[in-house]
Amino acid sequence: MLATLTVVLPIFALIFAGWLARRIGALGPNATSELNRFVVSLALPALLLDITAHARWVDVWQPGFIAAFTLGAFIVFVLTILYRLRRPRHLADATIDGLNAAYANTGFVGFPLAAAALGPAALAPTLIATIITVCVLFAAAIILIETGLQTEKRRSKLFIKVGGSLIRNPLLIAPVIGAIIPICGLTVPAPVETFLKLLGGAASPCALVALGLFLAAKRDSSERDIKSAALLTSFKLILQPAITWVLAALIFDLPPNLVHAAVLLAALPTGTGSFMLAEFYKREAGVTSNVILTSTVLSVVTVSLYLALVGPSG
């Protein structure tokens, strides 16, 4: 429990800092969108490029773990989208809801928590999960959102417009460039690496501060929004780790250490990626902010219970 608290409390501190800055007037009403635009356009692409450029593919090539974690995330992602589309709901909004239910906070919470709970051996699986979450799942969400936002009826024009939006999107371009570097046997020059780490290091804290700024704005939360947030939070904290455990333990028969790493990472609270996209594409972010906040609070209990069940070292 203490290890979980020491990881989660700084997250709340950053959210509170943004909330307080807005409430006392230190940051104005436009700060949320501008800070989020900085994260999506500069900081997060730098982080994605840095992660993929320094990935040692020999270390991260764990086919069973990759399959279990990826399928677990995408099953919840797709099921949530299909369920939300029945409401009915716009594809862009349903996709953001899918991220709310499946986008684990592997980058900001995963690394320190996995190291503290499962030891240094869990860092490689955490890197795999981070690449899957912030690159593969994020890219799939962007493609669906861009598709949903286009109004062209002719399929050829639709593909052209979506494709044009995607090739200009820094969140997709950055990891592709980063992946080319190790594949070609190249290394990142020292000044460039310093630049990427300085800029990429701002992604998570700025996103959390932006979330706090958003939460400080006065708005009315309907009963429907509260129910939606509760449903998506349960998908994230209960359904995704449960599906991941079935895949990792029963279907792919992974070693116990990889099973526990997969389940622990799947059980993490919702990351800020869905909030970034909701703000960037100017969709309603009320449910998203509630899911991030609620899942982060409740994960202290759910993750601690799981760790108590499997033991401190898995």
Cα separation, 314 vs 11, whole angstroms: 25
Cα separation, 7 vs 106, whole angstroms: 12
Q: Which is more confident, 264 or 115?
A: 264
Q: Which is more confident, 97 or 115?
A: 97
Q: Kindly state the tokens that stand for 156.
A: 């050829």
Angle, alpha carbons 188-193-108 (nearest 5°): 120
Cis peptide before 191 (omega within 30 of 0): no
Q: Which is more confident, 60 or 221?
A: 60
- Enumerate the β-bridge partners of residue 104: 270
Parse the chain into domains and list their residue ranges: 2-310
DSSP 121: G
Instruction: Residue count of the chain, please give it.
Output: 314
CATH hierarchy code of domain 2-310: 1.20.1530.20
Task: Write down the pTM of the prediction.
Answer: 0.79
Most confident of the ranges 39-48, 60-69, 220-229: 60-69
Residue from 289, 314, 308, 267 nearest 109 by CA: 267
Q: What percentage of the chain exceeds 90 in pLDDT?
A: 35
User: Contact 273/103 with Cβ under 8 angstroms?
Assistant: yes
User: Contact 245/263 with Cβ under 8 angstroms?
Assistant: yes
Question: At which residue do the structure tokens 């279990």 appear?
Answer: 68
Cα separation, 314 vs 260, whole angstroms: 6
Kindly tell me if the per-residue pLDDT of 64 is higher than 90. Answer: yes
Residue from 303, 300, 292, 305 nearest 14 by CA: 292
Kindly tell me if the per-residue pLDDT of 313 is higher than 60. Answer: no
> Exposure string (b/e) for 249-287, b if CB count within 10 Å is 16 or more?
beebebeebbbbbbbbbbbbbbbbbbbbbbbbbebebbb
Name the residue type at position 191: P
Question: At which residue do the structure tokens 């209960």 appear?
Answer: 238
Sign of CA dihedral 266, 199, 51, 2: negative
Kindly report, residue by residue over 125-164, the tens digit of the pLDDT: 888 898 889 888 988 998 899 888 876 556 666 667 666 7
User: Contact 210/36 with Cβ under 8 angstroms?
Assistant: yes
Segment 204-228 mean pLDDT? 77
User: Contact 277/211 with Cβ under 8 angstroms?
Assistant: no
- Enumerate the β-bridge partners of residue 270: 104
Cα separation, 1 vs 113, whole angstroms: 11
Residue from 4, 74, 7 nearest 239 by CA: 74
Residue from 23, 7, 126 nearest 69 by CA: 126
